[in-house]
Amino acid sequence: MTNSYNKIHPSLITLFVMFCIFGFGFISKIQFQREVDWPFLIFMASAVSITATIKYLEMDAWLSGYLAVITSYSTSGVMFLSLICGITLIARFFLPIAPAVVLLSTIFIPLSVKQGVNPWLVAFIILVAADMWFIPYQNSFYIIFEEAGLINNQLFYNRAKFIVYNFFIGLIKIGSFYISIPYWKSLGLL
């Protein structure tokens, strides 16, 4: 926040604050090792750097060239968002949710401006579509739930009914996407 005033690089300020926190004993070495969410920090660092890496390697132009063929079929913003939703659902069969969201956002948000669609709406569609799952391995929370639900090697619920229920929830999410299009148009997002 103070970079515009003091012209000191934010990483130097962060390093100084960290040394103060350790130097004055606000946090111990053990707390630093155990209580910091390291997997999340590593994920965020890789998520931030993947965009810079893609731009440095000029893969964004290469991907945009290939995706221009796909997006050329979209004659409207609604068709463009439908393509994004479909591509996200297909990508989720191969990628976990976090890498899929980062990769697809990096690719489609720059393309949204050319299609006349607000980037916020593209990010929203990617997040909603990436959260949908139709096969249990696509959702780590469901796998944990299922492992916790084993009692004497038997599930305490009907798995087939739950999967069918989840499928219909996914269809409701896709339906709500199309129902909300007039509202998005009224806001000027499309």
> Would you write out the chain's pLDDT as a tens digit for each of its 190 residues?
666 777 777 778 888 888 888 888 888 878 877 877 778 778 777 777 777 787 788 877 777 677 666 666 666 778 888 888 999 999 988 888 888 888 888 788 877 877 788 889 989 999 999 988 888 778 877 777 777 766 556 666 777 888 888 889 999 999 998 999 889 888 888 7
DSSP annotation of 116: T
Residue 100, pLDDT score:
84
- How far is the C-alpha of 117 from the C-alpha of 113, rounded, in Å? 6
Residue 139 and residue 166: Cα distance in Å, rounded?
Answer: 11
How far is it, in rounded angstroms, from Cα 31 to Cα 92?
36
Calpha distance 98→104 (Å, rounded): 10
Q: Where are the alpha helices (DSSP H) in the chain?
A: 3-6, 10-23, 29-35, 38-56, 59-72, 77-91, 97-115, 119-131, 140-148, 159-179, 181-187
CA–CA gap between residue 68 and residue 55 (Å, rounded): 17
* Crossing angle of helices 159-179 and 119-131, rounded to 10°: 170
Question: Which residues lie closer than 8 Å to 115 by C-beta, 6 or more apart?
Answer: 71, 74, 77, 80
Exposure on the CB side of residue 146, measured as CA atoms within 13 A: 12
Whole-model pTM: value is 0.68
pLDDT the model gives residue 1:
63
Task: Say if CB 40 and CB 152 are below 8 A apart.
Answer: no
